[in-house]
Structure 1
């Protein structure tokens, strides 16, 4: 069950992990790449165009906040 690899003993699980890593790296190597300068400029334009509706910038009104506690807990 143990195999020699580069002078070290490796278990089958580490071989499987290494194969998964190689497969993932091969997938990533085949992906189409975008020029960072174009992508960054597009991102800046998008953020500037949507900043008025961005809750991280403008905040959320307490009446429309779905995460606001509906009731308060009072301990006596």
Structure 2
């Protein structure tokens, strides 16, 4: 019976943690998705000139460029 009591108290503790987490999430301020998406698009457009995925990396400053060419013998 002690095993049954232990698992019961564990599930009560887990349920209490879940309730506490849901209470915290319920009090959080939510943003409208349309406003957030608009802000994200504007940020991407403003910073696209410095984005290396869009503009690429100059070969002289690329730290991942191979130093030597591959030679097969």
Q: TM-score range by the shorter chain?
A: 0.5 to 0.7
Cα distance between partner residues in 2 of 1:56 and 1:20: 42
Check whether the contact 2:49–2:55 (CA below 8 A) recurs between aligned residues: yes
The aligned length equals 70
1:36 paired with 2:33, answer yes
Q: CA RMSD in A?
A: 3.2
TM-score (norm 1): 0.59
Instruction: Give per-residue Cα distances to partners, 1:23-75, cap 9 Å, x unaligned.
Output: 21111110011111111111111111111112232333444445x27767xxx
Between the two structures, name the one with larger relative contact order (CA 8 Å, sep ≥ 6): 1
Tell me the residue number matched to 2:52. Answer: 55
Of structures 1 and 2, the larger Rg is shown by 2
Cα distance between partner residues in 2 of 1:10 and 1:69: 59
Show structure 2 runs of 5+ residues with no match: 69-73
Question: Which of the pair is proportionally richer in helix?
Answer: 2
Question: Which of the pair is proportionally richer in strand?
Answer: 1
TM-score (norm 2): 0.61
